Amino acid sequence: MYTCSMDLKRVPKIELHLHLDCSLSYQVVKKLNPDVTFDEYKKTFRADWHCHSLLDYLARAVKGVELMQDPNALDLVTQDLFDQLKADGVIYAEIRFAPYLHLLQGLRPEEVVDIVDDSVRRGIERTGIDAGLILCTLRHFTKEQSMHTVQMVEQFKGRSVVGFDIAADEAGYPIDNHVPAFRYAHENGLHITAHAGEACGPHSVWETLENFYPSRIGHGVRSIEDPELIKYLVRENIHLEVCPTSNLQTGIYKNIHDHPADRLFNAGISMSINTDGRTISNVDLTEEYGKLRDNFGWGFDHFAKCNLFALEAAFISDERKGKIKDRLLEGWKRG
């Protein structure tokens, strides 16, 4: 066990891998459904410490998605997340969600994106946290849904929307339906990240790199199993969005000591530390940092470097990056 006197809550943070529909606080759930008790919330919105699989973990997002089906709910959840980020010391976040999951009450996908985009912009003004939106397709979506999602990334480019992602059951569905959408993103200069190397091993990361052209990989932790892949990631400066607690819950690793975050860092990988789903994993970035500090002896240099890696990999302009870097440096001086 290591100790460090850093006040981790005050450390300014950047979070790149954060699912909107997996991050509903009890307070906002209670507003949307007053009948939900805290015990029910813990049982249905949070994952067990060890789930049976990634699919078991993802099932905990269902209740949140069910609540996020009208403009008021989408706005409340987005503003609630900004409050969580503010309390956690986050100064820049990229928030991802799949617009096609929010059509059950008649909204069109473009309306969903417009509502969340507007809410993000108001959240930025209200809290001072800079943020971007990443639109997700999901592994089980059709070719048409994937293509429409990436076209919305292009349509809303220049507003809050900054990139394109694929998420959901990595092990259960092939990539075939989504190759045309990612080719479209690549050919049109859109920013790309993609979930891989989580439920499946290094072959999934190789397949994703070869077919989706990402500059970032969501999770990607199982890359550590292939030394040649690690060399490639370092050489090509592919950024890994690492989410330690989520990886433990989905059963990739039995305990934090087995997690490769420290080995990835020491291998020279560009990486960031993220929560994945703040509600499902019942964690914030302060706690994630604390686990790395207490179990691997991480200190200021580690967290500073990961945040600079994250800023470099962020899907925003150099001008915005410069302003955020100034805030990081000022925050570190104060801390």
Q: What is the pLDDT of residues 71-119, one digit of tens each?
A: 999 999 999 999 999 999 999 999 999 999 999 999 999 999 999 999 9
Give the model's pLDDT for residue 115. Answer: 98
CATH number, position 249? 3.20.20.140
> Which of 119, 174, 177 is closest to 146 using CA atoms?
177
Give the model's pLDDT for residue 2. Answer: 46
Q: Is residue 231 part of a domain?
A: yes
What integer is the mean pLDDT of 172-179? 92
Neighbours of 1 (CB within 10 A): 5
Evaluate if pTM is beyond 0.85. yes
The reply to whether 40 belongs to the active site is no
Q: Is the pLDDT of residue 3 over 60?
A: no
Strand order in 13-19's β-sheet?
13-19, 90-97, 130-138, 161-167
What are the start-end ranges of the E strands in the chain?
A: 13-19, 90-97, 130-138, 161-167, 193-196, 216-219, 239-242, 271-273
Q: Is residue 329 part of a domain?
A: no
Higher-confidence residue: 190 or 335?
190
Q: How many domains does the chain fold into?
A: 1
Provide the β-strand partners of residue 192: 164
Q: Is residue 3 part of a domain?
A: no
Give the model's pLDDT for residue 196. Answer: 96
Q: What is the pLDDT of residues 126-166, one digit of tens each?
A: 999 999 999 999 999 999 999 999 999 999 999 999 999 99
Q: Is residue 330 part of a domain?
A: no
Q: Is residue 332 part of a domain?
A: no
Give the model's pLDDT for residue 329. Answer: 93
Give the model's pLDDT for residue 62. Answer: 87
Q: What is the pLDDT of residues 222-264, one digit of tens each?
A: 999 999 999 999 999 999 999 999 999 888 898 999 999 999 9
Q: Is residue 2 part of a domain?
A: no
Give the model's pLDDT for residue 5. Answer: 55
Cβ partners under 8 Å of residue 319, min gap 6: none
**Residues 288/11, Cβ–Cβ less than 8 Å:** no
Q: Is residue 39 part of a domain?
A: yes
Q: What is the pLDDT of residues 269-314, one digit of tens each?
A: 999 999 999 999 999 999 999 999 999 999 999 999 999 999 999 9
Q: How confident is the model at residue 33 (pLDDT cuts 50, 70, 90)?
A: very high
% of the chain surpassing 90 pLDDT: 86
- Give 289-306 as a DSSP string: HHHHHHHH---HHHHHHH
Q: How confident is the model at residue 172 (pLDDT cuts 50, 70, 90)?
A: confident
Cα(176)–Cα(142) distance, integer angstroms: 10
Residue 107, domain extent:
9-322
Higher-confidence residue: 60 or 264?
264
**Residues 223/240, Cβ–Cβ less than 8 Å:** yes
> Which of 198, 312, 319, 330 does the annotation list as catalytic?
198
Give the model's pLDDT for residue 53. Answer: 59
Cα(77)–Cα(116) distance, integer angstroms: 9
Tokens matching residue 60? 């905990």
Q: Is residue 84 part of a domain?
A: yes
- Give 184-210 as a DSSP string: HHHHTT--BEEEESSSS-HHHHHHHHH
Tokens matching residue 221? 């932790």
Integer CA distances (angstroms), 120 to 96, 132, 191, 199, in order = 11, 8, 19, 30
